[in-house]
A and B are shown apart, each in its own frame.
Chain A
Amino acid sequence: MSATADAERVPLAIRLFHWALAAAFIGAWALEADWRAAHEWLGYAAAALVVWRLAYAWRAPADWRWRALLHPPRKVLRHAAQLARGRAELAAGYNPIAAWNVLAMFAMLLAIAASGWALTTDRYWGDQTLQALHAALVDLMGWLVGFHLLGVAVGSLRARGFLPRSMLDGRRLPH
């Protein structure tokens, strides 16, 4: 395989990160009621994965760096407007909407983990306000995940292919 073909692929680290993060979040959510220890550790694992990803944004290949993740709001609006008119360019990296979607999910996971940790301390043990906040953040995260999947669906239509495959074999489709 040539170096260029390699560079065009989603790095294996990103793919593993993506699925590990999804598994940690879904696992923590599913085990909330009956397996509290696992719930907590999966929550911390998710936070650790996010921290790793943010650090990796300084060293990753160009399409996964901070520069690719941070888009000014006017670019988001322009992309949305172009998308609505069916005129947005096909590109393989994060589009401005996807990038903010991803960053919002990262922020949410960190906030969920932080509030979850606080709930284990003496001070907030059983604190109803913080419990409600923790649950509300998880709810918001659910909407962000839903929006992410919706974006993947729209991208799949635009790319005329099955976008999630790129998170498995790394072969990217402009969308």
Chain B
Amino acid sequence: MSHPALFLCRAAVAAFGALSLSTAFAGPQCTNQPQSAWIDAGKFQTELKAQGYEINKFKITSGQCYEIYGKNQAGKKVEIYFDPVSGKIVKQETR
């Protein structure tokens, strides 16, 4: 059957598939090191606060990052992914 409707069926299946991937808010991959090599989460947050960050949310992502939602020194809302071993910023969104 080479009906144009077949093309649409395929498109429908593709749409289902592609959009079902959207559930996982994909973030970056930050490290492959085991958690034992990571900076202590509490100490890390204290350090960020000392640098002037305000932390609203702190989490460990599926991509092995420390992620914060909060405000930077300028009071702007930020979402930042850190490498939990080096403490370096991997990805940052400012708003």
Interface residues of A (CB under 8 A from B): 29, 32-33, 36, 120, 122, 125-128, 131, 135-136, 138-139, 141-143, 145-147, 149-150, 152-154, 156-157, 161-164
Contacts and interface: CB of A to CB of B under 8 A. Distances in A.
Contact of A149 (B8, B22, B27, B93): B8
A162 B6 CA distance: 10
Interface of B: 3-6, 8-9, 11-13, 15-16, 18-20, 22-23, 25-27, 56-57, 59, 68-70, 77, 79, 93, 95
27 contacts: A29-B22, A32-B22, A33-B26, A120-B77, A120-B95, A122-B77, A125-B56, A125-B70, A125-B77, A126-B70, A136-B23, A138-B23, A139-B20, A139-B23, A142-B15, A142-B16, A142-B20, A143-B16, A143-B19, A145-B19, A146-B13, A147-B12, A149-B8, A149-B9, A153-B6, A156-B8, A157-B5
Nearest 4 pairs of A and B residues by beta carbon = A126-B69, A142-B19, A126-B57, A153-B8
Nearest to A153: B8
B19 A153 contact: no
